[in-house]
């Protein structure tokens, strides 16, 4: 029996396992049922013969990063299958899911019903489906007695839906990983293999004026007027950004973007008869896979300061909201070629390389650990939305593809 035959015969078991994962409501925020799901995942990997560490985030660290959620402890699971190989291929997936709203076709988002070849429920596509595909790929290798070409390292991580700091971020820094290559179970799906993703820089700009009575505006400094001038002055910077391009490997042309004022606000004490003393607006700068977020932020801060300096009496302070790394690995490394062959072989359609405009945990492996990293998994429809679902054929295909990669990639 080959791994592919095993997977063909055990489709029902794969679905049952995914249903079990979906029923464990690991909603983040706040981070529910992390204890239960990591206990299950650790036991599952142990049952497959892996050496497993289920690591709680130290309380002191959680107190520092998530002080209001101390009653929701964080855990990551790391498994290792020593196949006696020289090199190690790492697979990563996050087990948390986004909160639920709206009316679902099958009553509840946590009632994983199968209908017309799809399985519904929160987390089916993002990304418990990838966990199920990976677990069954390993089961198939074990059951068919096929030895992978690599040691297999697995991480199942927390908090991707918030900021990954105590999830994959923690694992990359403190997990003592042995990986030489990484596959993150999302970002690419179907015939598309992901080799990078956009990053983001979020800032808030506060403009400081001086209050005065509305009847004597000449005695104040109108923060709204200064803010308006500042926003207009950023036009040139925006046009400059639009001239930068990045050609994704599938031919798509991407440009960095700047969105101003997703949130804009008056300061306290605003009244129709006062000169506004403060005004503020947010900035969302999308960073191309090949750009560096630190450089992008520095450049943006400089543009803001220069623009403000050219406007009389325009005093600003710039606050960081947050950021997220971009990453890109040109698909020239043999890992990518091997994955392309595996996807093409199993799906019987030519695979292609792409980049994702959203972000995921790939950058921790690609950017922080500097590993050849790709994103691929079963995916699905309506991520983060009502009636999120995954196609059963894609779940089984992904398991076959992971098993195929492990037995055909030569390093």
Q: List the interface residues with Zn ion, window 260-289 (CB under 5 A).
A: none
Q: Can you state the angle between helices 223-233 and 235-243, rounded to 10 degrees?
A: 30
Alpha helices in 153-205 (DSSP H): 168-174
The single residue among 126, 153, 225, 388 that binds Zn ion, judged by CB under 5 A, is 126
Q: Output the smallest distance, CB 189 to Zn ion, in A.
A: 11
The Cα angle at residue 94 between residues 320 and 191, in degrees rounded to 5: 105
Q: Output the smallest distance, CB 361 to Zn ion, in A.
A: 8
Return the range that interacts with Zn ion (CB under 5 A); candidates 28-36, 44-52, 118-126, 396-404: 118-126
Q: Which is nearer to Zn ion, 186 or 388 (CB)?
A: 186
Return the range that interacts with Zn ion (CB under 5 A); candidates 25-33, 117-125, 184-192, 226-234: 184-192
Q: Which is nearer to Zn ion, 180 or 388 (CB)?
A: 388
Q: Output the smallest distance, CB 186 to Zn ion, in A.
A: 5
The single residue among 7, 50, 127, 258 that binds Zn ion, judged by CB under 5 A, is 127
Q: What's the DSSP call for residue 89?
A: E
Return the range that interacts with Zn ion (CB under 5 A); candidates 28-36, 96-104, 127-135, 306-314: 127-135
Closest-CA residue to 136 (of 402, 406, 343, 376): 402
- The SS3 of residue 59 is helix
- Answer yes or no: are the C-beta atoms of 380 and 18 closer than 8 Å: no
What CA–CA distance (Å, rounded) separates 250 from 79? 34
Which phi and psi (to 5°) does residue 232 adopt? -65, -35
Q: Output the smallest distance, CB 211 to Zn ion, in A.
A: 46
- Answer yes or no: are the C-beta atoms of 194 and 130 closer than 8 Å: no
Return the range that interacts with Zn ion (CB under 5 A); candidates 179-187, 319-327, 351-359, 370-378: 179-187
Which phi and psi (to 5°) does residue 324 adopt? -150, 130
Q: Which is nearer to Zn ion, 126 or 180 (CB)?
A: 126
Return the range that interacts with Zn ion (CB under 5 A); candidates 31-39, 119-127, 207-215, 299-307: 119-127
Q: Output the smallest distance, CB 357 to Zn ion, in A.
A: 14
- The SS3 of residue 129 is helix
Where does residue 49 fall: left (phi above 0), alpha (psi -120 to 50 degrees), or beta otherwise? left
Q: Output the smallest distance, CB 262 to Zn ion, in A.
A: 22
What CA–CA distance (Å, rounded) separates 103 from 92? 31
Q: Which is nearer to Zn ion, 94 or 226 (CB)?
A: 94
Return the range that interacts with Zn ion (CB under 5 A); candidates 32-40, 95-103, 123-131, 138-146: 123-131
For the chain, the straight-line distance linking the first and the last C-alpha, in angstroms and rounded, comes to 25
Q: Which is nearer to Zn ion, 122 or 400 (CB)?
A: 122
Q: Which residue has the tokens 């007695």?
A: 145
Number of residues that bind Zn ion (CB under 5 A): 3
Q: 73: which 2 tokens? A: 């402890």
180 is an interface residue for Zn ion by CB under 5 A: no
* Pattern 145-164, Zn ion, x by CB under 5 A: --------------------
Q: Buried b vs exposed e over 95-108: b needs ≥16 C-beta within 10 Å?
A: bbbbebeeebeeee
Q: Output the smallest distance, CB 160 to Zn ion, in A.
A: 5
Q: Which is nearer to Zn ion, 186 or 323 (CB)?
A: 186
Alpha helices in 145-265 (DSSP H): 168-174, 223-233, 235-243
Q: Which is nearer to Zn ion, 13 or 32 (CB)?
A: 32
| Residue ranges that bind Zn ion, judged by CB under 5 A | 126-127, 186
């Amino acid at each position: 029996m080959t791994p592919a035959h095993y997977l063909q015969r055990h489709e029902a078991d794969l679905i049952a396992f995914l249903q079990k994962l979906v029923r464990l409501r690991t909603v983040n925020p706040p981070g529910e049922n992390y204890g239960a799901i990591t206990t299950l995942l650790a036991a599952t990997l142990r049952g497959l013969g892996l050496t497993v560490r289920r690591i709680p985030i130290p309380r002191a660290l959680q107190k520092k990063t998530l002080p209001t959620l101390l009653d929701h402890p964080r855990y990551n699971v790391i498994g290792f299958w020593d196949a006696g190989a020289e090199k190690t291929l790492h697979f990563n997936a996050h087990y948390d899911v986004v909160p639920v709203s709206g009316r679902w076709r099958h009553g509840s988002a946590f009632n994983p019903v199968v209908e017309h070849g799809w399985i519904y429920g929160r987390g089916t596509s993002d990304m418990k489906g990838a966990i199920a595909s990976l677990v069954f790929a390993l089961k198939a290798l074990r059951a068919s007695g096929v030895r992978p070409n690599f040691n297999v390292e697995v991480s199942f991580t927390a908090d991707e839906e918030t900021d990954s700091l105590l999830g994959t971020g923690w694992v990359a820094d403190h997990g003592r990983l042995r990986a030489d290559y990484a596959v993150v179970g999302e970002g690419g799906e179907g015939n598309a293999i992901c080799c990078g993703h956009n990053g983001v820089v979020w800032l808030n700009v506060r403009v400081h004026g001086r209050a005065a009575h509305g009847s004597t505006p000449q005695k104040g400094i109108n923060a709204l007027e200064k803010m308006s001038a500042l926003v207009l002055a950023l036009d040139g910077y925006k046009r400059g950004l639009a001239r930068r391009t990045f050609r994704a490997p599938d031919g798509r042309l991407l440009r960095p973007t700047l969105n101003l004022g997703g949130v804009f606000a008056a300061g306290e004490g605003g009244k129709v008869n006062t000169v506004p003393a403060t005004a503020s607006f947010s900035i969302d700068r999308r960073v191309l896979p090949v750009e560096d977020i630190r450089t992008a932020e520095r450049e943006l801060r400089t543009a803001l300061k220069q623009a403000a300096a050219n406007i009389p009496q325009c005093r600003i302070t710039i606050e960081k909201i947050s950021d997220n790394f971009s990453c890109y690995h040109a698909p020239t490394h043999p890992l990518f070629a091997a994955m392309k062959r595996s996807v093409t072989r199993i799906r019987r359609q030519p695979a292609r390389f792409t980049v994702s405009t959203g972000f995921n945990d790939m950058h921790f492996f690609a950017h922080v650990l500097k590993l050849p990293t790709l994103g691929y998994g079963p995916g699905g429809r309506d991520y983060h939305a009502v009636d999120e679902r995954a196609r059963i054929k894609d779940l089984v295909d992904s398991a076959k593809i992971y098993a195929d990669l492990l037995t055909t990639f030569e390093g």
